[in-house]
Amino acid sequence: MIPPKPPARPDRVSLLQYLRLFRRDILSAQPARLYRAWMAEFRTPFFCSYMCNDPALVNRVLVERPDDFPKSNRIREGLNPLLGNSVFVTNGEEWKRQRRIIDPAFEGGRLRDTLPAMWAAGQAAVARMPLGEVEVEEEMSHAAADVIFRTLFSIPIEHEVAAAVFGEFRSYQRTQPILNLAAFLPLPRWFPRFHRRATKRSAAVIRGLITRLTTARAAAIAAGTAPDDLATKIMVTADPLTGQRFDTEEMVDQVAIFFLAGHETSASALAWALLMLAMYPDVQEKLAAEAAALPEAPDFAAVGKLRYARDVFREVLRLYPPVPMMVRENRCPEDMRGRKVVPGAQIVLSPWHLHRHERIWDRPDEFDPSRWQTQENRVCARDAYMPFSAGPRVCTGAGFAMVEGPLLLAMLARAFRFERLEGREAVPVAHLTVRAKDGIWLRIVRRHG
């Protein structure tokens, strides 16, 4: 049984048809040949883009010379109403300053401090999980958002403001295309950006709610009553070079991306993981058996023993990377596989295609957690696995996600059995993250004993 994959478009379509397909879903807008191509070129009247699947080119862009390939502002255009000037969209010295403040909160020792909050969120997810025929993407969104609020602000998802942010984000997702018109046209800064009215309204509501949380936390820090969670750690950390801290507006930008990246990506991965458990009952039972050994109040060492859960989660991230494509812009003239790439071109790096590349991976479209224990796969993982990006801009929450994902997956597999529903096939599409076109529907049965 092969996990679901979006249909590929024909090799040749008109520019207008491609843009329509791309705006609707960037995965099915791509031709099948990209799963075996080392590089592909796409031209519009306004810019050229190059998809790079050659591991050497990916390494050049992300690891060797990241300053020469900053994030493209074309992607920033669509997310600007919500993310403002967050670390996800900035470049250069501004980005480096932000990472110097944020990164210490996610270091190994401090990451251990988040485990009780993750465990509490997992227990709440188990208690809340409905039985019968269930759309699990929504359930995993709820669970992942709960993790973020508990670890960031020490409040559960049921908290009034947390619940309001989560609810409004559902509305934001429904109105926000992955790219807006400004991503395709060379518009001057003063020109309107064509954001939908509903998108701007939802973004403003979310930012207003986050402002309430950050303002209250700043007051608690000043009074010496703030809990020692991620928000406090970030807000009290000074840039070691300048001594500056985030002000309220800057912190709102960062919290917005923590919420977007930290809950939306985890929800995507967890939902696809549950589908894989339903499709592969032997994997599910092996994972459930491992999870049964978890103590009722695990420490970091106990979570570290979830080795099979971690391999399952890694394999899900290979097949369904939550962020399917990344876009950089080259600043210098480049020679890429014999092509002359002029400054200003868009460099597309696609975890979706790289993770399924037919010339890199053995059985690229098959789900096989055991591949992570082979030497051959370790070479593939080194050269062609980047669910959290790579190099200096690797996701600051990668370690966080690799604790959260296997832990929640183990807790759910220990409590429930997940079964496929005939006629409810999931088709991957890319919106803010890789989701299923009509949701992921499964039958959920409680385990006994």
Q: What is the pLDDT of residues 389-434, one digit of tens each?
A: 999 999 888 999 999 999 999 999 999 999 999 988 999 988 778 8
Of the listed ranges 77-81, 219-223, 229-233, 409-413, the one predicted with least confidence? 77-81
pLDDT bin (cut points 50, 70, 90) of residue 38 is very high
Q: CA 1, CA 366: separation in Å to the nearest integer?
A: 8
pLDDT of 255 reads 87
Query: Of all residues in the chain, what percent carry a pLDDT higher than 70?
Result: 87
Token pair of 188, please? 């001057």
Residue-range domain boundaries for the chain: 15-446
Find out whether 403 and 267 touch, Cβ atoms under 8 Å: no
State the amino acid at position 361 in one-letter form.
W
pLDDT bin (cut points 50, 70, 90) of residue 191 is very low
**Bridging pattern class, strands 346-349 and 326-329:** antiparallel
Secondary-structure breakdown of the chain: helix, strand, coil percentages, each rounded to the nearest 5: 55, 10, 35
Q: At what angle do helices 115-128 and 398-415 cross, to 10 degrees?
A: 40
Q: Say if residue 191 is exposed, middle or buried (CB neighbours under 10 Å; 0-12, 13-18, 19+).
A: exposed
Query: Of all residues in the chain, what percent carry a pLDDT higher than 90?
Result: 57
The pLDDT tens digits for 337-347 are: 999 999 989 89
Better-predicted residue by pLDDT, 438 or 74: 438
The pLDDT tens digits for 120-142 are: 999 999 999 999 999 999 999 99
Residues in the chain: 449
Token pair of 324, please? 């399917």
The pLDDT tens digits for 246-297 are: 988 889 888 888 887 788 899 999 999 999 999 999 999 999 999 999 988 8
Tally DSSP H helices, then E strands, for the chain: 18, 11
pTM of structure: 0.90
Helices (H), 157-264: 160-175, 197-223, 230-236, 248-259
State the amino acid at position 392 in one-letter form.
P
Token pair of 240, please? 């070691």
pLDDT of 90 reads 87
Find out whether 65 and 361 touch, Cβ atoms under 8 Å: no
Average pLDDT score over the chain: 87
What's the mean pLDDT in 59-84?
A: 82
What's the mean pLDDT in 177-193?
A: 44
Better-predicted residue by pLDDT, 88 or 74: 88
Predicted confidence (pLDDT) at residue 102 exceeds the cutoff of 70? yes
pLDDT bin (cut points 50, 70, 90) of residue 300 is confident
Predicted confidence (pLDDT) at residue 97 exceeds the cutoff of 70? yes
Which of 87-96, 203-212, 274-283, 297-306 tops mean pLDDT? Answer: 274-283
pLDDT of 166 reads 84
State the amino acid at position 98 in one-letter form.
Q
What's the topology of domain 15-446? Answer: Cytochrome p450 (1.10.630)
Q: CA 310, CA 318: separation in Å to the nearest integer?
A: 12
pLDDT of 192 reads 42
Better-predicted residue by pLDDT, 184 or 370: 370
State the amino acid at position 244 in one-letter form.
Q
Token pair of 306, please? 């979830």
The pLDDT tens digits for 359-397 are: 999 999 999 999 999 988 888 888 899 999 999 999 888
Please tell me the number of Cα atoms within 13 Å of 400 on its side-chain side: 28
Better-predicted residue by pLDDT, 45 or 428: 428
Find out whether 246 and 234 touch, Cβ atoms under 8 Å: yes
- Strand, helix or coil at 319? helix
